[in-house]
Every structure is written in structure tokens, then in C-alpha cells.
Amino acid sequence: MTSAAIYGCLGHRLTEDEKAFFAEVRPWGFILFRRNIGTPEQVRALTDELRASIGDPDAPVLIDQEGGRVQRMGPPHWPKYPPGAAYLKATNELAQARELTRLGARLMAHDLREVGVTVDLLPVLDVPVPGAHDIIGDRAYGVDPETVAVLGRAAAEGLLAGGVLPCIKHMPGHGRAFADTHKDLPTVHADLDTLDAWDFAPFKALSDMPIGMTAHIVFTAIDRKHPATQSKKAIRLIRERLGFGGLLLSDDLVMNALSGSLTQRAHKALKAGCDLVVHWNGDMDEMRQVAEGVGPLKGGARRRAEAALARIVRTPEPLDPVAGHDRFFKAMGGRMDVAKGPDVGEAQA
């Protein structure tokens, strides 16, 4: 039976231990990082191997391919895409930025689909506030909820048109965090009305998306004790106030924002209402700990997983990738340099 987890692997090919572990625990899907990326042929062989390990040719394979600081597939085999903030800067006009954002995501979907990746952890719908930690920074599409919602939807539409599922993140909002969740547990003290008008707005606008990811952040207006990933109150708010009915993933369990053993972290996230937990680094001992806290994917979670996969377009929208890339990079005006900020690197984004 499929388990409610997504795992990574260590290298360019699966080890025998990894094959045996995946066959035993049968995760819903897998996630790739930079350490797994070589040539297009190698990545395609790896995604085939991952699916073969659990006997499911349609098992989802995920990746963080945003552009900018968070791009697992890049030169020399794939283009260097810009961060979210670059689109509006390149055009200074929201309608034009929307077209460029959709085109950029459509091109990324083409790259991903060719190597067997079917879920992109994009778009980032967080709205940064002045003084917040730069872990989001230029990954955000704008500095106001309306811009983020418009360009976030454009990115999601581009991915969907290319046969790749988008994942909105980080619910219910990461823009007020004054710490990096990879290292610490941030606490947000804003009141519920303020959060609703600003942080929640883009997520409500894209509540129809198939997949979402939680934030490891404590919102005192929602739950003073638990980060959203492990909070029943926060998950209820995501479902009811934000109106999100899709498949809900935890952010990476290894992040230092969470405490306790990995078994406890996984169990708490699922008990709170996450549908699936994500473990990224491929460490076998850690994956076995996670597996102890994970049960089968069943009930509403299983139905949401099936509904998400049903959104994959089997025949992508027509695209001339050469002409598309030429048009995209010309329109961006050479603005391919990544804005300054912390490199998210080999950690769940």
C-alpha cells in the first residue's frame, strides 16, 4: 500500500539499498535535488528507476525549479531562469509580466517533462514585508498580494499547460518570517485580519491549485504552540479560510524549525492534517525513521492525491522550445543575473 511520504535519494542512480527501501515502504512520490542532476539522459534514467522501484509508472517526481537561487536543473544542460521578482522588473507592466511569467513556466515545464519530472514546487505565493528574512526575497513575484497572485497564477498556468503540476507554497504565508526555517523556527505575531488581507490573499486566489505546501512557522493568531505544518488549527484554516481543497504537503521534515525525532515530526504533521510528508536528503537512516511515523495514504488524503494527478495534461500545449526560449530571454532584456540573497541550495525550498 502507498505510504504518505515523499523521499529523495543520494545520487545520480539508485543504490540497491534505496531500491529495496522504496519497494518496502512504497512512497507516493520522490523529490530530486541538485545532487541528483547530471545530464538529461541521466536524470531521465533516474526518474525511470525511481518509478520502477515501486512498480508505478505514474509515480510523481518532484523538484524545486523556481529560477534564481532555487533551480536544481541549470547550465550547461538547461537554461538559467530568473527569480520571480525579475519578471515585473523587466517589464514594469503587470500584463506583460504575466505573459512572461507564464512563458517562463511553460518552458520550465518542457524541460522537466522531458526528464520525467511531473511536479514543480512553484509558484511561491509568499508576500515579503519590509525587514523580513531574505530567504524569500527575490523568489517572490512582487511586494503586494495582488501582484503575487496574478503572476503566481500565470506560473501555475504555464506549468499545467506543459503537463507539470504546480505546488503553491508556503501556506499560509512565509513573507513575515524574520528567520530562515532551515535554521530556526520563526514566530509571526500579526493579527488574523492583517494576515488575511496580506499573507493569505494570494493563497485564497489560487485555492483551486492541485497541490500546496505548508510553512514551518508559528502564527500566534492561529496557534501559539505549533508551527503550521504540525498545527491542526492552521491546517483547518488552510482548508476553510483559504479554501484550499488540494493535496497538502509538509515542507521538509529535516529543517531545524521542527523539533523532535524525524518519526515524531512526520507523525505530528500527518496527525495535524498534512496529506503527505517530505524528506529530502536521501539519508537512509533518516528515511527509516520517517517511515516509522508514516502510515498508508488513505481516505481524504488519497482522494486528494488522485485528484491532483488527474490534473496532469497528457498532451501538453504546443510549444517550439527554441523559439520560445529566444523570445523569453530577449523579452527579459538580459536580466538573467540572480538578485542577491541567501542561496537556498540543497535544502527543501
Active site residue ranges: 182, 251
- Would the CA dihedral through 222, 223, 228, 232 be positive or negative? negative
| Grid coordinates belonging to 142 | 512582487
> By C-alpha distance, which of 85, 35, 22 is closest to 332?
85
> Residue 177: CB partners within 8 Å, gap ≥ 6?
132, 133, 135, 136, 186, 188, 215, 217
What dihedral angle (degrees, nearest 10) is formed by the CA atoms of 215, 217, 220, 224?
A: 110
> By C-alpha distance, which of 222, 220, 216, 243 is closest to 234?
222
> Residue 171: CB partners within 8 Å, gap ≥ 6?
203, 212, 213, 214, 215, 228, 238, 242, 244, 248
Burial status of residue 300 (CB atoms within 10 A of its CB: 0-12, 13-18, 19 or more) = exposed
Q: Is the bond preceding residue 79 a cis peptide, omega within 30 degrees?
A: no
190-210 burial, b if ≥16 CB within 10 A, otherwise e? beeeebbebbbbbbbbbbebb
d(CA 218, CA 224): 6
Backbone angles phi, psi at 216, to 5 degrees: -85, 65
